[in-house]
């Protein structure tokens, strides 16, 4: 049973956007302030990454923990209503993420996933924020093709 009325739930869901979310904008501003330039939602790159760093051949996805099922994260809970619907929805999202990851690997495009919970912690803690930004920047120069933060 949902704790919200259908009208409240509908309003909440309508407010969720797939592009230019607050976590994405936050990360873009941090990278821009460090002198990095990027494309946004590049249609020429599989998965249309939230941020594409052409110079570093790196696709950055800011994944919502709930929608992309961040394993072990408190934000990746299962709603209590319409369970079958949500299971199908989440399964489709996770499968699409796997397909995109494979496509990017085949094209030798590096992939960096930044989880929503990481962004939330970055906003609370300046030292943590600087540490994560450092990890992101370090990834640009590394040989690894995939990382989650």
Does residue 14 lie in a domain region?
A: no
The whole-angstrom separation of Cα 9 and Cα 5 is 6
Does residue 132 lie in a domain region?
A: yes
User: Does the global pTM surpass 0.95?
Assistant: no
Does residue 52 lie in a domain region?
A: yes
Range of 75's domain?
Answer: 19-148
Count the Cβ atoms, other than its own, within 10 Å of residue 49: 24
Does residue 57 lie in a domain region?
A: yes
Q: Give per-10-residue mean pLDDT for the chain (149 aa).
A: 60 58 96 96 92 97 96 94 92 96 97 98 98 98 95
Residues 6+ apart with CB under 8 A from 123: 26, 129
Domain count, the chain: 1
Question: 44: domain CATH number?
Answer: 3.40.960.10
């Amino acid at each position: 049973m949902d704790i919200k009325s259908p009208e409240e739930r509908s309003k909440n869901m309508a407010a969720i956007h797939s592009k230019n979310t607050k976590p994405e904008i936050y990360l873009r501003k941090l990278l821009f302030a460090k002198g990095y330039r990027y494309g946004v939602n590049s249609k020429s790159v599989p998965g249309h990454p939230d941020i594409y760093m052409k110079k570093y051949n790196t696709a950055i996805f800011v994944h919502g923990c709930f929608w992309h099922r961040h394993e072990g994260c408190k934000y990746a809970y299962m709603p209590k209503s319409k369970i079958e619907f949500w299971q199908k929805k989440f399964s489709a999202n996770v499968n699409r993420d796997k397909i995109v990851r494979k496509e990017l690997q085949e094209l030798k495009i590096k992939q960096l996933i930044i989880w929503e919970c990481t962004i939330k912690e970055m906003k609370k803690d300046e030292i943590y924020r600087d540490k994560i930004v450092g990890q992101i920047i370090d990834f640009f120069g590394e040989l690894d093709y995939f990382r989650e933060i």
